[in-house]
Structure 1
Amino acid sequence: MVRIPTHRAPTHPGEMLLEEFLKPMGLSQKELAAGIHVPYQRINELVRGRRGVTPSTALRLARFFGMSPDFWLSLQLRWDLYHAQRSEASTLRAIRQIKRSRRAA
Structure 2
Amino acid sequence: MQRIKQGDDVIVTAGKDKGRRGTVVKVLTDDRVVVQNINMVKKHQKPNPTAGQPGGIIDKEMPIHVSNVMLFNPAKGKGDRVGFKTLEDGRKVRYFKSDNEVVDA
Q: TM-score range by the shorter chain?
A: under 0.3
Bigger proportion of residues as helix: 1
**Greater Rg over alpha carbons, structure:** 1
* Higher relative contact order (Cα pairs below 8 Å, separated by 6+ residues): 1
The TM-score, its normalising length taken from structure 2, stands at: 0.18
The TM-score, its normalising length taken from structure 1, stands at: 0.18
Bigger proportion of residues as strand: 2
